[in-house]
Amino acid sequence: MSALLIALLAVPALAAAILWALPAGTGDRVAAIVGSVVSGLVLIGSVVLWLDLLRPHCPCTASLVTTSNVPRTLPGKIHAFAETDSSWIPALDVRFHLGVDTISMPLIVLTALLVFLCCLYSLRITPRIGRTRSLIALLLVIETGVIGTFSALDLVLFFLFFEVVLIPMWLVIDIWGDDHDPAGRRRAATTFVLMTVFGSALMLLGFLLVHRLAGTFDLEVLGNNPIAGGHGIALIAAVLIAIGLAVKMPLWPLHIWLPDAHAKAPTVGSVLLAGVLLKLGSYGMIRILLPVLPDATATIAPYLAGFSTVAIIAGSLACLAQTDVKRLIAYSSVGHMGFIGLGIATMSPEGLAGALYANIAHGIITGLLFFLAGAIKDRHDTSDLRAIGRALYARLPRIGGLLTFACLASLGLPGLAGFWGEMLILLGAYHPADVLPRTTFLVLMVIAGLGAVLTAAYFLKLIRQLNQGDPADHPASAFAVDLSRIELITWAPLVVLTVVLGLWPPFLLDHWTFL
Residue-wise pLDDT for 105-132, tens only, equals: 999 999 999 999 999 988 877 776 667 8
C-alpha span between 285 and 279 (Å, rounded): 10
Between CA 512 and CA 148 the distance in angstroms is 21
User: pLDDT at position 66, please?
Assistant: 39
* Alpha-carbon span 202 to 129, nearest angstrom: 36
Q: Are 451 and 376 in contact (CB under 8 A)?
A: no
Q: Which residues of 130-156 are buried (b: 16+ CB within 10 A; e: fewer)?
A: eebbbbbbbbbbbbbbbbbbbbbbbbb
Residues whose CB is less than 8 angstroms from the CB of residue 200 and which lie 6 or more positions away in sequence, other chains included = 159, 162, 163, 166, 244
Strands 94-100 and 74-78, how do they pair? unpaired
What's the pLDDT at 512?
74
* Bridging pattern class, strands 94-100 and 62-65: unpaired
Q: What is the share, in percent, of the chain residues with pLDDT greater than 70?
A: 90
pLDDT band at 499 (very low <50, low <70, confident <90, very high): very high
Greater confidence (500 vs 257) lies with 500
> What are the backbone angles phi and psi of residue 75, rounded to the nearest 5°?
-60, 130
| 460 or 474, greater pLDDT | 460
What is the mean predicted confidence (pLDDT) over 343-354?
Answer: 90
pLDDT at 433 over 90: no
Name the pLDDT band for 186 (thresholds 50, 70, 90).
confident
User: For the chain, what is the radius of gyration of the CA atoms?
Assistant: 22
* Of the candidates 497, 207, 167, 222, the residue with the CA atom closest to the CA atom of residue 360: 497
Range with lowest mean pLDDT among 117-121, 207-211, 280-284, 376-380: 376-380
Residue 69: per-residue pLDDT? 42
> Which tops the pLDDT comparison, 267 or 58?
267
Residue 92 banded pLDDT, cuts 50, 70, 90: confident
- Measure the CA–CA gap between 342 and 333, rounded to whole angstroms: 14
Q: What spatial distance separates the first Cα and last Cα of the chain, rounded to whole Å? A: 27
pLDDT confidence bin for 77, thresholds 50/70/90:
low
Contact 217, 155 (CB under 8 A): yes
Mean pLDDT of 357-371: 92
Separation of alpha carbons 329 and 471, rounded Å:
25
- pLDDT score of 371 more than 50: yes
Amino acid 159: pLDDT: 92
User: Cα separation of 431 and 389, whole Å?
Assistant: 45
pLDDT digits (tens, 9 = 90+) for 286-302: 998 888 888 899 899 99
Q: Is the pLDDT of residue 482 over 70?
A: yes
pLDDT at 475: 52
CA distances 177 to 3, 4, 126, 258, 264, Å, are 37, 34, 12, 14, 5
Predicted confidence (pLDDT) per residue in 406-421, tens digit: 999 998 889 999 899 8
Mean pLDDT, residues 465-490 taken together: 70
Q: Provide the pLDDT for residue 224.
A: 83
- When pLDDT is averaged across residues 338-360 and rounded to a whole number, the result is 91
The pLDDT score that the predictor gives to residue 263 is 82
pLDDT score recorded for residue 436: 85
Query: Mean pLDDT over residues 342-347, rounded?
Result: 91
Res 502: pLDDT: 92
Over the chain, what is the mean pLDDT? 85
Q: What is the mean pLDDT of the segment spanning 485-490?
A: 88
- pLDDT higher than threshold 90 for residue 501: yes
Question: Does residue 462 contact residue 324 with C-beta atoms inside 8 Å?
Answer: no
- Which segments of 321-396 does DSSP mark as H helices, in order? 325-346, 349-380, 385-388, 392-395
* 263 or 410, which is more confident: 410
pLDDT > 90? residue 181: no
pLDDT band at 435 (very low <50, low <70, confident <90, very high): confident
Does the pLDDT at position 352 exceed 80?
Answer: yes
How much is the pLDDT for 63?
Answer: 44
- Residue 62's pLDDT band, with cuts at 50, 70 and 90, is very low
Segment 354-373 shows an average pLDDT of: 92
Q: Which helix (H) or strand (E) holds 77?
A: strand 74-78
